[in-house]
Amino acid sequence: MPFHNQKILPAARTLKQFERLLDSPFEYVVLLEVHISNLKTVKLEADKRGKKLIIHADLIQGLKTDNFAADFLCNDIRPAGIISTRSNMIMKAKAKHILAIQRMFLLDTIALEKSYSLIEQTAPDFIEMLPGVIPELIEEVYERTGIPIINGGLIRTEKHIEDALAAGAVAVTTSDRELWKSFEKKRTF
């Protein structure tokens, strides 16, 4: 299973944060925001440093999330994984044997039920459940879908991470550099 012993997935919001992660012990890194013109360079750098890049497709500046964009990401960039709220992105990633991570927002019961319907159609490899400060729902979502859960969003403390992992999340995404450092020091990523 991907992320074997990596319990925290550092998420870079900027190229500067991404560059810092290139020298970190983390095998998988998440890229949240980047301009489309930088994608190939970022992927090449990640490959050179032995990093497995997960791209958040919905946040790439200058890229629509239509089928052409899905083809471009899967065929030309070929990241280790793609995170998206869009079913076409998830289905294309799965078809191309790229980790497909469906983003799920826990806004209310209606949003949760709609997410279940979408997940039933797309059958992603993982679900990224947001916000991550609601660990009580991790077990419910996993039991209902049978799909491993990554928790993220508003993760601000080590306790948030520990609670999510204790509730059954396989990993936690965070863009908080202090939490990255904390887990690097503990060597429990």
CB 145 within 8 A of CB 119: yes
139-150 pLDDT, tens digit per residue, is 999 999 999 999
pLDDT of 42 reads 97
pLDDT of 184 reads 80
| Widest pairwise Cα distance in the chain | 44
For residues 28 and 3, what is the distance between their CA atoms, to the nearest angstrom?
7
For residues 73 and 87, what is the distance between their CA atoms, to the nearest angstrom?
14
The one-letter code for the residue type at 176 is D
pLDDT of 5 reads 80
pLDDT of 183 reads 81
pLDDT of 4 reads 77
Q: Which pTM does this prediction carry?
A: 0.95
pLDDT of 182 reads 87
DSSP string covering 70-115, please? HHIIIIII--SEEEES-HHHHHHHHHTT-EEEEEEE-SSHHHHHHH
Under-50 pLDDT residues of the chain: 189
